[in-house]
Amino acid sequence: MNSKTYNLSTPQSMILAALAIILTAWLISFPIKSFIADYYYNRVSAILDNKSTAYLDVKEISAGTMPDYITAIKSLEKSATLHPTKSIYYKALSDIYARLGIWADTMEAMNEALPAQTLSSKAAFVYAASYLKTAISLEPTNPDYHLALGQLYDTIGAGGSVAEKELTRAINAYPINAPLRYAVASHHLLTGRKGDALEHTGVLARIDDSYIFNALEIAWRASGDPEVVKGIAPDNPDARAAVELFLEWKGLEE
């Protein structure tokens, strides 16, 4: 039987050996990079923690805390650079920029000067939307991301239609999730889209009995009509009893 021998000193063999080393190093680097990326992500909660409270409360934004927010952003940017396909890093960046945008908008409305290194509300909101869109592109079926983008669009006055599209996408991604449905219905109510609020409230009342009082409250605030409140409740004894208690609590007769 013929046997073959390979000369490891040939150029071809040396190239293959080098490629094997590079590939091995590349594969090993993935878990290391992921670990470091998570480290930078997790340290943000410590950077922005309000140490004056016993709970993990986020620091109020001010000239004194602005450097901490900038440090938190840089930490998250490192996470995204190390692990660019992990959507939560971009969502966290969006959350911080949205918070900064709301604060800057308030300061600008009061004609107060913004601290050094502080973005305008417009610039902060642009970053917030951009990072959130990146998170959605990486995880398009995550309902929380679509909900956040819809809420952000309403915050920056981008137009009800684009906000509603994102809120609809959130619901379509997880239609039987009661907390999500409640959040969407509540947001529609706060933005004056009472018809949409009632539509989602009716579904909420049917998919989760534990949310029946929340659903009735939204229906009442949206309509002020006891008959509408009764109409969104499912036709079963527990729901009818809940409606009776709710109307009694509101000082209304069923």
In a domain, 4, yes or no: no
Q: What is the total count of domains within the chain?
A: 2
- Residue 131 dihedral angles phi and psi, to the nearest 5°: -65, -35
pLDDT at 6 over 50: no
- Residue 76 dihedral angles phi and psi, to the nearest 5°: -70, -35
Cα separation, 34 vs 135, in Å, equals 17
Residue that terminates a domain, selected from 139, 159, 188: 139
Q: What is the pLDDT of residues 167-201, one digit of tens each?
A: 999 999 999 999 999 999 999 999 999 999 999 99
Confidence at 70, pLDDT banded by 50, 70, 90: very high
- Residue 52 dihedral angles phi and psi, to the nearest 5°: -80, -10
- Together in a domain, 202 and 130: no
In a domain, 5, yes or no: no
The pTM score is 0.84
Name the residue range of residue 222's domain.
175-254
Q: What is the pLDDT of residues 99-143, one digit of tens each?
A: 999 999 999 999 999 988 899 999 999 999 999 999 999 999 999
Q: What is the predicted pLDDT for the residue at 162?
A: 95
Residue that terminates a domain, selected from 92, 117, 139: 139
Q: What is the pLDDT of residues 234-244, one digit of tens each?
A: 989 999 999 99
- Together in a domain, 28 and 134: yes
Cα separation, 96 vs 158, in Å, equals 19
Amino acid identity of residue 242, one-letter, is A
Short-list 45, 43, 50, CA closest to 64: 50
- Together in a domain, 26 and 71: yes
In a domain, 74, yes or no: yes
